[in-house]
């Protein structure tokens, strides 16, 4: 008894595990099971040129068409981009970008004319794009309170510490708190079609359907439930410092107001890279004529959002969409490349295999 107990070895805090049996001698015959005898039936695949070659050809044959399809699809997507930051003196927004102040009561507007060479058919999506804007900065990403945004009353009045330094203003809790909410994009973009006959037609922009469904209906909730009077609910809170209007005045439509305002939700989904675009408005398919016929357009910008201080850029992007999303030739090119490489390798391998195989055979014979 003592002897076996002494057998446990000194471990010095190692995670070593003493071997099975631990010194007690087993006199039992080991079981003859497939598992214990390491004889489990097993599939033993061996990759040989013979098995891999067809795979290469198949990959090549599948990938090249997919790639071509992707490339063509991407090319067929119409996309128009206009930078309205106003860096150049000649740029229409130069003045606005220079005389910028958060507290100005008079909004600065500028208009940018542009020409669409091709008609845009189907649903057209309007994005705003920002460059050199680090929405993925750690301090920024974590500066939000998801339970406040989920409609939690406690969090509404006592925002999370993560929101610092955008948690309280004048001793009042900020709703919505945090750096992300505080820096919400607040330029207003309006699009006018300059009819050849001289009239300026306002292109109708829908501001719903731009945020993820689950975000809008589950993740983001107004405090106090659906039908509540938002003004009353947000009583006692302060609007984010940089906002012009409090959160309950974001939209007149009550189903798009407060925390469930889609512009707000879109902004709250932090971008992956410092140059990004976010969906701003959708232009619904008009069915009969192209949604955006080719011609002259005017973009009217209510210029509120300063980016010059960090060398940022603002863009407006108009884009149609395909099944693969927005315009991005990368996938198509990548697929074609990989497919071709596979096919090429397949050919090379076939040649090598053919030659080597012959040599091997002859070597066998000579042996």
According to CB under 8 A, which residues from 291 to 310 bind other proteins? 306, 309-310
Q: Shortest distance, CB of residue 310 to other proteins, whole angstroms?
A: 4
Binding mask 274-293 for other proteins (x = CB under 8 A): x-xxxx--x-----------
Contact status: 314 vs other proteins (CB under 8 A) = no
Pick 92 or 313: Cβ nearer other proteins: 313
Q: Does 172 bind other proteins (CB under 8 A)?
A: no
How is residue 190 written in tokens?
A: 């309006």
User: Which residue lies nearer to other proteins by CB, 194 or 333?
Assistant: 333
d(CA 156, CA 251): 20
Q: Among 12, 103, 289, 365, indicate the residue that binds other proteins (CB under 8 A).
A: 12
**Quick one: 239 or 277, whose CB is closer to other proteins?**
277
Query: Under rule CB under 8 A, which residues in 194-253 are in contact with other proteins?
Result: 209-212, 214-215, 218-219, 242
Q: Is the dihedral of CA 267, 290, 285, 66 positive or negative?
A: negative
Q: Which of residues 42-61 bind other proteins (CB under 8 A)?
A: 42-49, 52, 55, 59
d(CA 332, CA 104): 47
Q: Where are the alpha helices (DSSP H) in 100-234?
A: 138-141, 146-149, 153-157, 179-182, 213-214, 230-233
Q: From 85-93, 110-118, 139-147, 229-237, give the range in contact with other proteins by CB under 8 A.
A: 139-147
Instruction: Pick from 90, 101, 117, 138 the residue near other proteins by CB under 8 A.
Output: 138
| Listed ranges 10-18, 82-90, 108-116, 294-302: which one lies at the site for other proteins (CB under 8 A) | 10-18
* CB closer to other proteins out of 200 and 354: 354
List residues bridging with 151 in a β-sheet: none
- Give yes or no for residue 186 binding other proteins (CB under 8 A): no
Interface with other proteins: number of residues (CB under 8 A): 119
Q: Using CA atoms, how far apart are residues 342 and 346, in angstroms rounded to an integer?
A: 6
Beta carbons of 143 and 161 less than 8 angstroms apart? no
142 binds other proteins (CB under 8 A): yes
Asked if 175 is part of the footprint of other proteins (rule: CB under 8 A), the reply reads no
Q: Is 81 in the site for other proteins (CB under 8 A)?
A: no
User: Which part of the chain contacts other proteins (CB under 8 A), choosing from 104-112, 223-231, 293-301, 329-337?
Assistant: 329-337
CB 223 within 8 Å of CB 151: yes
- Strand 188-194 versus strand 200-202 pairing type: antiparallel
Site for other proteins in 86-105 (CB under 8 A): none
CA distance to 76, 183, 311, 366, per residue, from 102 (Å): 41, 12, 18, 89
Q: Which helix (H) or strand (E) holds 192?
A: strand 188-194
Q: Which of 57, 94, 114, 134 binds other proteins (CB under 8 A)?
A: 134
State in angstroms the smallest separation of the CB of 48 from other proteins: 6
The residue within the footprint of other proteins, chosen from 68, 91, 157, 162 (CB under 8 A), is: 162
Q: Which helix (H) or strand (E) holds 50?
A: helix 49-76
How far apart, in whole angstroms, are the C-alpha atoms of residue 283 and residue 291? 7
- Between CA 104 and CA 122 the distance in angstroms is 39
Q: Does 313 bind other proteins (CB under 8 A)?
A: no
Least distance CB 51 / other proteins (angstroms): 9
Q: Which of residues 337-356 bind other proteins (CB under 8 A)?
A: 338, 342, 345, 349, 356
What's the chain's length in residues? 367
Residue 270 contacts other proteins per CB under 8 A: yes
User: What tokens were used for 298?
Assistant: 């005017």
Indicate the angle between helix axes 329-366 and 49-76, nearest 10 degrees.
160
Residues with Cβ within 8 Å of 165's Cβ and at least 6 positions away in sequence, in order, are none
Q: Does 362 contact other proteins by CB under 8 A?
A: no
């Amino acid at each position: 008894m003592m002897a076996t107990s002494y057998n446990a070895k000194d471990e010095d805090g190692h995670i070593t595990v003493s071997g099975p049996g631990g010194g007690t001698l087993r006199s039992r015959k080991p079981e003859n099971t497939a598992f214990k005898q390491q004889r489990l039936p097993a599939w033993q695949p061996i990759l040989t040129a013979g098995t891999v070659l067809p795979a290469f050809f198949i990959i090549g044959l599948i990938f090249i068409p997919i790639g071509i399809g992707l490339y063509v699809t991407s090319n067929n997507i119409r996309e128009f981009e206009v930078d309205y930051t106003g860096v150049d003196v000649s740029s229409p927004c130069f003045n606005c970008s220079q005389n910028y102040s958060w507290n100005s009561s008079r909004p600065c507007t500028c208009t940018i004319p542009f020409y669409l060479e091709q008609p845009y058919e189907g649903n057209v999506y309007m994005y705003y794009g920002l460059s050199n804007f680090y929405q993925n900065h750690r301090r920024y990403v974590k500066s939000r309170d998801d339970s406040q945004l989920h409609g939690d009353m406690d969090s509404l009045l006592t925002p999370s510490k993560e929101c610092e330094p955008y948690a309280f203003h004048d001793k009042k809790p900020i709703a919505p708190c945090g750096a992300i909410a505080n820096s919400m994009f607040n330029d207003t973009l309006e699009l006018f079609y300059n009819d050849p006959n001289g009239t300026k037609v306002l292109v109708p922009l829908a501001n719903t359907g731009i945020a993820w469904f689950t975000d809008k209906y589950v993740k983001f909730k107004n405090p106090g439930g659906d039908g509540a009077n938002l003004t009353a609910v947000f009583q006692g809170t302060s609007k984010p410092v940089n906002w012009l209007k409090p959160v309950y005045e974001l939209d007149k439509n009550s189903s798009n107001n407060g925390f469930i305002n889609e512009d707000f939700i879109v902004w709250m989904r932090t971008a992956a890279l410092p140059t990004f675009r976010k969906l701003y408005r959708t232009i619904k398919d008009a069915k009969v004529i192209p949604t955006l016929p080719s011609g002259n357009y005017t973009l009217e910008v209510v210029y509120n959002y300063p980016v010059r201080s960090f060398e940022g850029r603002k863009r407006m992007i108009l884009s149609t969409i395909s099944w693969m999303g927005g315009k991005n030739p990368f996938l198509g090119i990548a697929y074609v490349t990989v497919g071709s490489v596979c096919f090429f390798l397949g050919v090379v391998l076939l040649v090598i295999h053919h030659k080597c195989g012959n040599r091997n055979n002859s070597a066998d014979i000579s042996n």
